[in-house]
Structure 1
Amino acid sequence: MDDDWLSTGETAEILGVSRQHVADLCDRGDLPSIRIGTHRRIRRASLARLVAPQLTRNQEKSLWLHRAVLGALMMDPVTVLQSAQDNIDRWKTAHRPDGKSVQYLNQWSAIIDGGVDQLAAVLTGTDELSCELRQNSPFASILADEQRQQVLRSFQQHWRQEHGAERAA
């Protein structure tokens, strides 16, 4: 068996659970598997999907937009970073200094100061903090309207294919 497939024992070890729990996950359909004789085999990719954080539709849409921002950042980092910092500076004057919005803006400033690699990790991260920060993004003006609309169309098509038409609305 190649490296793409795992036994229930290997899967249980990775998850830190019992083999029976893995079998239960497979029986419920929560973890797709195949049977080879009396043995179950689980694709590594299926296991990765099970343990990966599940993003909401809005979080995933924001992730797609920020991946496009990352493309712009890679092509012209000076302009993109300056535009984001200008937005931060301008928006800080519109909010209470002790408010949550300013806290997010300060976090963005620190991330920008940390360099392009740190910024790229937040722009494309699926962890809770990255998702939260993207909802308060200083990169609103980076993409041209046509680019933004194209990303949103691509995302909608992706969502329908990956998550089913009933959830795409």
Structure 2
Amino acid sequence: MFFVFTYDYGDMVTEAQLLTTGQAAQVLGCSRQHVVDLCDAGRLPCSVIGSHRRIARGDLQSFLDEGQVLRREEERSLWLHRALLGPLLRDPERVLARARSNIERWSGTHRADGMTQSWLREWEGLLDQGVDAVADILASRTPRAVELRANSPFAGVLDEQERLAVHQSFRRHWAAKHRAA
């Protein structure tokens, strides 16, 4: 099944604004076939030109902004942060104290008016809200959670062996999920 979308907002979509499925796959960090499957399922709007699917840059950005799909590094971060849920629930005082300690240490090394400081302040607010608020962000696929995890204060909570085990598991998962056809 192919979907052809026309744009009725008066602006013409130029060829420069259209991406091939291969280019979209590079942006998403997945296989070209996965992009084709997303298009065929109607989850990612596309146009069909001849026998080729083309994705408007704006549609791809909207798809990313909705948090429907994560880039490889974002999904790996999600897996690592989900692994933090066990220690967080078993020993919340230790995990939250470690995060607070990291925030305090890092705050002294970044510009007061920089983006890193704003993320650290947001994490402080979440830590103040307690375990439930932190757990929600650790497991969420929302764009806000993705950004927060990219600036995570939880370094050192998982030991090296746990971290490596999560990385290995993630690599197997990613390879199976995104195997090129």
The amino acid that maps onto 2:41 is D
CA deviation after TM superposition for structure 1 residue 30, in Å = 2.2
Q: Sequence identity of aligned pairs in percent?
A: 42
**Which of 119, 127, 130 is equivalent to 1:104?**
119
CA distance, structure 1, for counterparts of residue 180 and residue 41 of structure 2: 20
Does the 8 Å contact 2:67/2:142 carry over to 1? no
Runs (4+) of structure 1 moved beyond 2 Å?
28-32
CA distance, structure 2, for counterparts of residue 94 and residue 29 of structure 1: 48
> Which ranges in structure 1 are unaligned for 5 or more consecutive residues?
1-25, 33-50
CA deviation after TM superposition for structure 1 residue 71, in Å = 1.2
Higher helix share: 1
The amino acid that maps onto 1:121 is D
Deviations 1:57-91 (Å, cap 9, x if unpaired)? 01000000000111110111000000000000010
CA deviation after TM superposition for structure 1 residue 126, in Å = 0.5
CA distance, structure 1, for counterparts of residue 152 and residue 112 of structure 2: 17
CA deviation after TM superposition for structure 1 residue 140, in Å = 1.1
Aligned 1:21-40 pairs, distance under 5 A? 29-31=40-42
Q: Aligned residue pairs: how many?
A: 123
**Which of 64, 72, 95 is equivalent to 1:57?**
72
Aligned 1:40-119 pairs, distance under 5 A? 53-119=68-134
CA deviation after TM superposition for structure 1 residue 164, in Å = 1.0
Task: State the Cα RMSD in Å.
Answer: 2.2
The amino acid that maps onto 1:64 is W
Deviations 1:3-23 (Å, cap 9, x if unpaired)? xxxxxxxxxxxxxxxxxxxxx
Does the 8 Å contact 2:127/2:133 carry over to 1? yes
Give the TM-score normalised by the residue count of structure 2.
Answer: 0.64
Residues 97, 74 of structure 1: alpha-carbon distance in 2 compared, 3 angstrom cutoff = same
Give the TM-score normalised by the residue count of structure 1.
Answer: 0.68
The amino acid that maps onto 1:155 is F
User: Which is greater in Rg?
Assistant: 1
Aligned twin of 1:136: 151
CA distance, structure 2, for counterparts of residue 157 and residue 79 of structure 1: 31
> Which ranges in structure 2 are unaligned for 5 or more consecutive residues?
1-36, 44-65
Secondary structure of 1:142's counterpart equals coil
The amino acid that maps onto 1:111 is L
Secondary structure of 1:157's counterpart equals helix
